[in-house]
Amino acid sequence: MKIHKVVTFLFVAIGIALSATGLVYAQAGAEADVAASGFKMIGAGVAIGLAGLGAGVGMGTASAAAIGAMAEKPETFSKSLIYIVFIEAIAIYGLVVAFMIMMA
């Protein structure tokens, strides 16, 4: 039930942020570049935010499993480390995508 409230809150917050952004940039005049710049920043923020969230959740589950596996068999350290590095790469890809959105 708590997750349902959190997800609902996130969707409402994103909706309010997008609505407020449109109203703020409507005051700037007929410049389409200003609105496009604002939406680029929102897109970049969403990209890095979701990538970081996914990497964090993945890191939590994979790290717990890796520590459990290493407790039973210490020779599984290298395999566990490779999986952790792949999860970290997801966050780095999100950062790269955010920069690509901002520079477009």
* Rounded distance between C-alpha atoms, residue 18 and residue 39, angstroms: 8
The per-residue pLDDT for 92 is 92
- Between vectors from CA 100 to CA 33 and to CA 49, what angle results, nearest 5°? 95
Least confident span in 23-27, 59-63, 64-68, 86-90: 23-27
The per-residue pLDDT for 78 is 87
What is the reported pTM?
0.64
* Rounded distance between C-alpha atoms, residue 74 and residue 62, angstroms: 16
The per-residue pLDDT for 38 is 78
pLDDT digits (tens, 9 = 90+) for 5-19: 887 888 778 777 766
Domains of the chain: 31-103 (1.20.20.10)
Per-residue pLDDT band for 100 (boundaries 50, 70, 90) equals: very high
* Rounded distance between C-alpha atoms, residue 63 and residue 83, angstroms: 9
pLDDT digits (tens, 9 = 90+) for 33-84: 666 777 888 888 889 999 999 999 989 898 888 889 889 998 988 888 888 8
* Rounded distance between C-alpha atoms, residue 39 and residue 85, angstroms: 31
The per-residue pLDDT for 72 is 92
